[in-house]
Structure 1
Amino acid sequence: MESSQSRIVIGSDHAGYPLKEALRKRLEKDGYPLLDVGTFSEESVDYPDYAEKVARALHAGEGDIGILLCGTGIGVSIAANKIKGIRAALIYNDETASLAHRHNNANVICFGGREVSEDQAHTWTRLFLSASFEGGRHQRRIDEISALESPGNIGHS
């Protein structure tokens, strides 16, 4: 394992659990250091709880990148994006996997456990991790997104 490899925090609800387990095992085999914050079964749980767990772990420096899974990936991406400093992207093809990092500097990627295969999730995670933020005009946009998180700000005109 290279010392520069991203440390990954992974979490899911019950619907994303089977894919989380498969993806976790493949990423561990690839040599990525992982922190699994749950869930640990297919018993029904609330996805916002796991979005928060991944975000808190990232804020605490326990990982560099988060991966979240639920049935569609939509719920966890919405929940994660409510947390200051999190830029969660729903990934559904090669282009979104690469651009989420290159253009949006996403720090969490989200998958639909009922929507994508193990091979797709693994490929797209590797594409995301191999991409680098391009900065430039994209940094200006990231700064604008961060400004939206300021207290009392409901956007700009």
Structure 2
Amino acid sequence: MKIAIGNDHAGTDYKLAIIGLLKSIQVEVINYGTDGTDSVDYPDFAHPVALDVEQGNVDFGILICGSGNGASMTANKQQNVRAALCWNKEITKLAREHNDANILSLPARYIALPQALEMVSTFLNTSFDGGRHERRIEKIPLQ
């Protein structure tokens, strides 16, 4: 499995911990985020993550910023990207099962690090249910 990850200054500590988790389970990681705490602009890392997902260069993406909103809004500009802003494990599970989310967006300022790690594990270990949800997913792209 291969995952692109990106973060702004609010998500650096979370990103480093998530990369550690991913590497411990033999997931290849492409890091587009900052490694520092100086202010950066979330589109500068969200676009490359979303582009990798859109082009099929990676299996999934993970974005981390203060609220998770700006990163997910940016990522969702790419075709066939379904970035889900998630705040807990249950929403994360539903984002995969019902919405076939391919990018997990995390709000670093509003969730604890252990919760973020649990959400990443849930995201990676949950499959899309298909069925009645499939026709809804097919209606997302503009024609």
**Distance in 2 (alpha carbons) for counterparts of 1:142 and 1:93:** 22
Deviation at residue 30 of structure 1 after TM alignment:
2.5
Instruction: After TM superposition, list the pairs within 5 Å mapping 1:1-16 onto structure 2.
Output: 6-16=1-11
TM-superposed CA distance for 1:83, in Å, is 1.4
Q: Deviations over 1:47-80 (max 9, x none)?
A: 0121101012223433110000000111111111
- What is the DSSP-based 3-state SS (H/G/I as helix, E as strand, rest coil) of the residue aligned with 2:14? helix
Quote the residue 1:52 is aligned against: 47
Aligned residue in 2 for 1:118: 113
> What residue in structure 2 maps to residue 106 of structure 1?
101
Structure 1 CA distance, aligned partners of 2:74 and 2:56? Answer: 20
Conservation of the 8 A alpha-carbon contact between 1:69 and 1:76: yes
3-state SS of 2:10 partner: coil
Instruction: Name the SS for the 2:62 alignment partner.
Output: strand
Q: Is the 8 A contact 1:23 1:118 kept in 2?
A: no
Which 4+ residue blocks in structure 1 deviate beyond 3 angstroms?
Answer: none
Q: What corresponds to 2:133 in structure 1?
A: 138
Q: How does the TM-score come out when normalised to structure 2?
A: 0.93
Q: How many residues align?
A: 143
For structure 1, the 5+ residue unaligned runs are 1-5, 151-157
Query: In structure 1, what residue type is equivalent to 2:52?
Result: A
Per the alignment, residue 153 of structure 1 pairs with none
Choose the corresponding residue for 1:23, options 8, 18, 27. Answer: 18
CA RMSD of aligned residues (A): 1.2
Letter in 2 for 1:47: Y
